[in-house]
Structure 1
Amino acid sequence: MTGLFEQGLIAILALFFFAPGPAPDCEAGYQKLKDEYQKLRDGGGLALADGRRLQAEFRAFADQNPSCSRADDALYMAGMIGGRAFRQGGDRSDLERSIAAFKLLAANYPESNLADDALYHSGEIQLVLGDREKARAAFGAAMMVPGGDMAAKAREQLDRLADAAPPAVSPAPAAGGTASVTPVAPAPKPGATVASAAGPPPKVVARFLGIRYWSNKEYTRVVIDLDREVPYDQPHLLKPDPALGTPPRLYVDFRGAEVSPAISAATPEPGCYALPIGDGLL
């Protein structure tokens, strides 16, 4: 009996000393990242490089600690920091990483009080990226989260998308009441110039403010925003040039228009504006 008792005691002691202890406190790991973020943000602004690093670290924390009570918070921080990085650097990949983090939050933590916020912000980002259909889906999903507080805002966004649906013929008006370029009927022959009713335009009559676009599976619509109406030459298509490695290109020449200073400052090539649509059509 004594031998059996001693063996049992040894087994219990072995379990006590060698059994795995409690998991590390993931709250401390999350709070460390959050404190660093707030310190950098409040200490003169979060630099782009620091923001991207912290976005990656918040995402890595969530991936490595999926059962942590702060995993959803970490994914939310990764998503929000990506939006800030995009505003600083203009790189679409920052927004794409944000969407990935928000989607993972909503999918893996549907009970989180941040799930509907993540879906709503995904919709906002899809609007920035020009994908109205994905934005509509994200806003619709945000409305369906039980107990969420973003349903009203998501409904407002869906109403705006419905009101701003592309018209059948003419481009949508530019934001802020500025005029978009509209074809003049009857259309002249290719290469001809569309004349202004007021006669020849002055040297500069309009400023190019930017480009908006939206797509579905069948078409892409592009709206060119200027600060006023301007004469333009008929669009003409250039064939692809294998020697130069260029795809088919559509040219529209605006007479008497110039690129706005804000666009010029943000564009490497003088007088140019790059808009990567990448929807398979343009």
Structure 2
Amino acid sequence: MLGLVFPGAVLADQAETDYQKARGSYSSLQDSARKKLYRENWVQVIDGFLAVARSHPGHRRAPDALYLAGKACQGLYEISRSRGDALRAVETYDRVADEYPRDSLADDALLLAGELLESALQDPVQAYLRYQRAAEQFSGGDMASLAKKNRERLAGHAPARPASPPPAAPAPAKAKAQPGSAGQVSLNGLRFWSNPGYTRVVVEMSGSADYTANFLPGDPKNGTPPRIYVDLQGVASSSAIQDMTSVDDGLLRQIRAGRPDQGTVRIVLDLFSISDYKVFPLADPYRLVIDVAGERGTTLSAKEPELRSLPPGAGDGIAGILDKAPDSKPPKVAIPSTEGGHQQLRRIVVDAGHGGKDPGAVGPSGVLEKDVTLAMARSLARKLESEFGCEVILTRNRDVFLPLEERTAIANKVGADLFISIHANAARNRDAYGVETYYLNFSKNDKAAAVAARENGTSLKEVGDLELILFDLMANAKINESSRLAAEIQKSLVDRLSRHYSHVRDLGVRQGPFYVLLGATMPSVLVETAFISNHREESRLTDSKYHENTSDAIVTGVRNYATALKMIASQ
């Protein structure tokens, strides 16, 4: 009855409830260093705030929600280093000023938009326009003084005829081929994951390109840092890659891009130190991966991982979200070693294969590999944490797409001791069934190559091409340890599943060139838990009991491996 008499009051209460719920999720994210590692957690918070603004545009909480959505987009950018995330933050801040010009947050939002455009997006003209608008349109606001100083500092970038209101931030654009270069490869973006002991840089391209990689030692007398540079031939320059991206994390100073001549784009990594580096291409889509290892003494084995992508910004708690490692270390469990010793097993990364726009294999009844791998990965993570008391990080915790090279980069960045990727097998022969476990190496037979091609999303020819570059990448791939881990997991899987199910076939331990394992600095395996293409095993893959049994078996395999190698620490 009250709702019928006072509908506005009910809607207002709902708006407040929705806002406080979104704000609670935001606070929870801010309080958890671990949650901040996952894009989906940021996206959920952003979507929550935007839903408040969309559903209750006239409520007093609408501008607050938009402003915090912009802050969350900016926080995500500080982790992802994705240009698109920074642009979305600018766009959301602009909305605050455009849609709620009388709100006290309007000038704050314009100032933050200007700072992002200036520092992150390297667009001083658009930054100037935001500062100008904040100084003139909101001259009585608390940000007017700072906006005026920033405008004066960028006065040299003022447009001859400034637009009013200033134009929206430019959308991410793919590089256009230069005149006369029809079909030329373009740069589509650049991503990186970095800490004092490890850096992975991924250069995204529209097609394959010839490249050369070179290393130049530093010259302390001249103050020149060591650097790696990669020249890409026949590639068009693009606004998708900034001229300079500052990192300054202890290993990588900055990433620069330039054009030494008309037909070449050069990517330069300025470093503090280096012990080794590798450069290799991946296909579908085309990208070039640059892996850099720091000198001894700065590696993650010697210190806690720095969970940050950039130095914190002054006066902004969001910008420094990854400045600190987790407040407390995960507890350790003392487990006797059969060889009379104890060592540490502190952090494991569990990877749920496929996800988002990549469904993986599809079963005869329509079951998707990406769904069953996520369910099993969650189960495995819980059991590993319970069994060993270590920290377990999921590369994805919901249905989102994650590039294969990003999964291993996550494990390298957090200093994982083990990397376990969960998959479901598939074959054209619907009668094929069984369990097998892989580690990174050259494929010894056509079946292993076929599995690698399917999991990589490539052709058999591209698998062959990948094996050619593996010769230069295998030295640090932990082959022996990965082989032992795969053997223990495979044995445990067959033993346990055979006790609970009929028709369990041991397909053994195999090796192959898997993108998802490439560049891992810790023992890493890929587990094919069953054939989703087989009716009987597809049914099992949807059963939570099968998930539990599979997880228990993997945990046993990890325990046997860790005990044998004295990896589990005493308290």
Does the alignment reach a TM-score above 0.5?
Answer: yes
Q: Note if contact 1:117-1:150 (Cα within 8 Å) is conserved in structure 2.
A: yes
Q: Which amino acid aligns with 2:25?
A: E
Matched with 2:145 is: 152
Residues 164-223 of structure 1, C-alpha deviations (whole Å, 9 max, x = no match)? 99xxxxxxxxxxxxxxxxxxxxxxxxxxxxxxxxxxxx954332689xxxxxxxxxx957
Q: Note if contact 1:76-1:101 (Cα within 8 Å) is conserved in structure 2.
A: yes
Alignment: residue pair count: 189
Residues 3-50 of structure 1, C-alpha deviations (whole Å, 9 max, x = no match)? xxxxxxxxxxxx999667334211121011112211232244652431
SS at match of 1:269: strand
Q: Distance in 2 between matches of 1:112 and 1:17?
A: 29
Aligned residue among 12, 16, 22 for 1:33: 22
Instruction: Give the drift of 1:103.
Output: 1.0
Q: Distance in 2 between matches of 1:142 and 1:34?
A: 26
Q: Note if contact 2:218-2:227 (Cα within 8 Å) is conserved in structure 1.
A: no
Matched with 1:99 is: 90
Tell me: CA distance 1:56–1:117, structure 2 relative to 1, closer, same or farther (3 Å): same
Q: Distance in 1 between matches of 2:75 and 2:245?
A: 26
SS at match of 1:235: strand
Matched with 2:271 is: 260
Q: Which amino acid aligns with 1:29?
A: D
Residues 234-273 of structure 1, C-alpha deviations (whole Å, 9 max, x = no match)? 93322xxxxxxxxxx3559xxxx974158989x94147xx
Matched with 1:207 is: 225
Aligned residue among 130, 135, 145 for 2:127: 135
Q: Distance in 1 between matches of 2:79 and 2:154?
A: 27
| Mapped pair 1:56 → 2:47 | yes
Tell me: CA distance 1:260–1:39, structure 2 relative to 1, closer, same or farther (3 Å): same
Q: Note if contact 1:78-1:101 (Cα within 8 Å) is conserved in structure 2.
A: yes
Q: Distance in 1 between matches of 2:269 and 2:57?
A: 52
Q: Distance in 1 between matches of 2:47 and 2:269?
A: 40
Q: Which amino acid aligns with 2:112?
A: H
Q: Note if contact 1:207-1:258 (Cα within 8 Å) is conserved in structure 2.
A: no
Tell me: CA distance 1:118–1:262, structure 2 relative to 1, closer, same or farther (3 Å): farther
SS at match of 2:74: helix
Give the aligned CA root-mean-square deviation in angstroms: 3.8
Q: Distance in 2 between matches of 1:224 and 1:97?
A: 18
Instruction: Give the drift of 1:64.
Output: 1.6
More strand by share: 2
Q: Distance in 2 between matches of 1:106 and 1:130?
A: 22
Q: Distance in 1 between matches of 2:63 and 2:28?
A: 21
Q: TM-score, normalised by structure 2?
A: 0.29
Instruction: Give the drift of 1:96.
Output: 1.4
Instruction: Give the drift of 1:137.
Output: 0.2
Aligned residue among 253, 269, 276 for 2:290: 269
Tell me: CA distance 1:251–1:111, structure 2 relative to 1, closer, same or farther (3 Å): closer
Q: Which protein has greater RCO, CA pairs closer than 8 Å, 6+ apart?
A: 2
Instruction: Give the drift of 1:139.
Output: 0.4
- Give the gaps of 5 or more residues in structure 2: 159-215, 229-241, 247-258, 279-287, 293-571
Q: Distance in 2 between matches of 1:224 and 1:79?
A: 21
Residues 32-72 of structure 1, C-alpha deviations (whole Å, 9 max, x = no match)? 11122112322446524312221122112211211111000
Q: Distance in 2 between matches of 1:30 and 1:87?
A: 24
Tell me: CA distance 1:143–1:208, structure 2 relative to 1, closer, same or farther (3 Å): farther
Residues 146-180 of structure 1, C-alpha deviations (whole Å, 9 max, x = no match)? 52110111122123224799xxxxxxxxxxxxxxx
SS at match of 1:113: coil
Q: Distance in 2 between matches of 1:58 and 1:262?
A: 42
* Greater C-alpha Rg: 1
- Give the gaps of 5 or more residues in structure 1: 1-14, 166-201, 211-220, 226-233, 239-248, 272-282
Q: TM-score, normalised by structure 1?
A: 0.56
Instruction: Give the drift of 1:97.
Output: 1.4
Tell me: CA distance 1:268–1:42, structure 2 relative to 1, closer, same or farther (3 Å): same
Question: What is the correspondence of 1:37-186 to structure 2 with a 5 Å cutoff?
Answer: 37-44=26-33, 46-47=35-36, 48=38, 49-127=40-118, 128-144=120-136, 145-162=138-155
Tell me: CA distance 1:163–1:237, structure 2 relative to 1, closer, same or farther (3 Å): closer
Matched with 1:7 is: none
